[in-house]
A and B are shown apart, each in its own frame.
Chain A
Amino acid sequence: MAPAFRDRRDAVGFLAFLVALLALPLVLPHGPRQQVWTGVPTAMGPVGDLVQTLFEEKEDADVLLLGTSPMRAAFLQGEAERYFSAKLGRPARIRTLAMWWQSLDLQYVMLDEYLENHHPGLIVFELPAKESSTSRPHRQLLRWLRHGEYADAFRGLPQRDRAAVYAEQVLGGPRQLLSLVRPNRLGPDERSAVATEKSSERFRRAGYQGAPYVENEAHPSPSIAAGALRSVAAIAPKPGPEGKGEYLLHFFRRTVDLAKAKGAPIVFIHFPEASEAGTNAVPLYVPPASLGSDAQIVGVPLDDLLWGVPPERLHDFFFDTHHLNQNGAKAYDAAVLPAIYRAYEKAQRR
């Protein structure tokens, strides 16, 4: 068998290469944060919209929607702005910070950077879901977090999670190095509202898990608007095996605390999941205390949202178990926008 290395110099070179890769996150200089976000691939969500919302737009949002892909799926493009504009009698500004894949470390960092330069009238924060949440670092953390950034926020986490974060940064090191050599840029096609909607297109006219889309005409949107804003005390928590892990809860609490520390009013939102059929309550998969004592939740039980829809047609309203499709979003928007507006009005009166 041929030796792995021709001579000692080759072996030392290989060792040095491995050590350099492992240590790269520790020695990489940090360019501006905007460069990091611009380097995020469009496969992680509408990156143009994200960069514009965080860095380029100077005006404050009336409402900031903070979450993950179910948030993009649940609100049809422009629907919330149309509703708020009509109510306010002026053009409303609704902005969304929501990228794909769960893990609240990303939401914490996005919110922190948004609040650095903005004061939204209301933050609407997506509650962790039953089906889609994971209590590990975000699977694309290598793209948006460099070693040493947000060190405080990651302190106190289990060693396994901290090691996973470093592993992500080792994997992302060469890409971050390239960003320093050749700056990332957004193309005009990535900046447009069309690009933002295109990223959510897959959820719209799509049937359940690849099934053909069936436009819902038989069931009008429910008129349960006033009932969609609930106090946390009226919610049934779901503890036990469905309870969430330490990493997710850590960043959930930190995100809530961050909003409170910056004086930004926050309300929580629950998106129905297909697996919730047969329930007439809004479930809560995090400890109620983590929301704060006076917390309010925007939500609607699935059975109320799709009241009168026969069980065999339930899937006509979902793209998959945790994303609504266009039918579902139409019903959901009609049900929750009045509640979000009510929460906004309350926040303005404070």
Chain B
Amino acid sequence: MSPLTIAILVVGLVFLALILILPAGTLQTEAVYQGF
């Protein structure tokens, strides 16, 4: 695996971890209300 692929994997995993750690309801309220 090239260093670039590893870097993408690591950053992607950080992203995933942040999504998983979001307080319950954050993504739900964003999706329901589209309060943009």
Question: Which residues of A does B touch, CB under 8 Å?
Answer: 8, 11-12, 14-15, 18-19, 21-22, 40-44, 101, 103, 134, 136-143, 160, 163-164, 166-168, 170-171, 175
Contact = CB atoms under 8 A, between A and B. Distances in A.
**Per DSSP, are chain B's interface residues mostly helix, strand or loop, or mixed?**
helix
Contacts of B7: 15
Given A22-B14, A139-B29, A164 B4 contact: no
B11 A41 contact: no
**7 interchain residue pairs of minimum CB distance:** A41-B35, A43-B33, A167-B18, A139-B25, A136-B23, A139-B26, A18-B11
A136 B24 CA distance: 8
Contacts of A11: 4-5, 8
A170 B5 CA distance: 23
A168 B35 contact: no
A164 B23 contact: yes
Nearest to A15: B8
Contact of A140 (B11, B26, B36): B26
24 contacts: A11-B4, A18-B8, A18-B12, A19-B11, A40-B35, A41-B36, A136-B24, A139-B23, A139-B24, A139-B29, A140-B26, A140-B29, A141-B23, A160-B21, A163-B17, A163-B21, A164-B21, A164-B22, A167-B19, A167-B22, A168-B23, A168-B26, A171-B22, A171-B26
Given A15-B4, A42-B35, A43-B29, A138 B11 contact: no
B25 to A, nearest CB: 4
Given A22-B18, A139-B24, A170-B18, 16 more contacts: A11-B8, A19-B11, A22-B11, A41-B36, A43-B33, A43-B35, A44-B35, A136-B23, A140-B26, A142-B26, A164-B22, A164-B23, A166-B18, A167-B18, A167-B19, A168-B23
A168 B30 CA distance: 11
A168 B15 contact: no
Given A41-B35, A43-B35, A18 B15 contact: yes
A134 B24 contact: yes
B16 to A, nearest CB: 11
B25 A101 contact: yes
A164 B24 CA distance: 10
A163 B18 contact: yes
Nearest to B20: A167
A212 B25 CA distance: 27
Contacts of B14: 22
Contacts of B18: 22, 163, 166-167, 170
B4 to A, nearest CB: 5
A313 B11 CA distance: 55
Given A136-B24, A167-B18, A12 B33 contact: no
A12 B11 CA distance: 12
B8 A138 contact: no
B33 to A, nearest CB: 4
A136 B11 CA distance: 25
Contacts of A8: 4
B12 A138 contact: no
A101 B17 CA distance: 24
Given A15-B4, A22-B14, A175 B26 contact: no
A241 B23 CA distance: 20
